[in-house]
Structure 1
């Protein structure tokens, strides 16, 4: 029994020494020698702005560069998209608040904002979808169709939603 205790004591001493060695050693540093970027694997959703590298267009003087940027207006925005963006800003938040109150849906304001942002991203595709379905569709009809679709989709989401925290 004494011999076993002596062996265990030796083993404990050895383990303590190893622990001390490990603690005293400096932690290894990570060296990053080379980073390779594979731009062909990136997904770009939106690319906006102007990139000028080297000479200015038409060999113009550098003093005219400010004029070059000033003359570049933003592209004309689709009036339906503009109206829908206004609708998402002014009409949908009060509608959502009323709907969740009437149907007792426990949802945070942050969650509602995420929903609105998600729908905003989809607006250009929905406009294209309806225009492709009926190329002769007038703007008012298109606007009302998408507004109705937004309200119906959100109402359906709220009906299936269990509430925040679940």
Structure 2
């Protein structure tokens, strides 16, 4: 009995260390990306605007047309793209929507890979933890039930992100995958924990 408890503890400890190791690798990758971004920002020319005084009482507008550039760097005119103005606000060439769709595809592919390969192993580990034994059809049923809910979970986490072209989709994908996988694992643990044991 003591050896069995020690074995379970060692398994859990090993799994925890692996998760921490994976997290450290992800954080190191994130730090490298942030350093690159900082270096990129440092290398850009700086525009210094001293003091601007507006005297609106002397301003006379007879005709209003042309292009208004707000928040764009005049030093890099190649950044200026066509803007599609919609009633609900500004949509920069549908960039937000394109980024969300691209991020959804990336996340869906990886989560489906996780469900196809690693999820069954996680269920088996959880079964051992709760001293249960499920048959293969039952495991497949759990995975397929989760698969039906995955799309809404991915969209939920994507909609919580504010995306710009400067964001690294790989970093955003990793954040979302960690959250979705955690949700999957928590739901499996909750389901098995409340499953009646056979006498």
What is the TM-score with the length of structure 2 in the denominator? 0.41
Bigger RCO of structures 1 and 2 (CA < 8 A, at least 6 apart): 1
What is the TM-score with the length of structure 1 in the denominator? 0.49
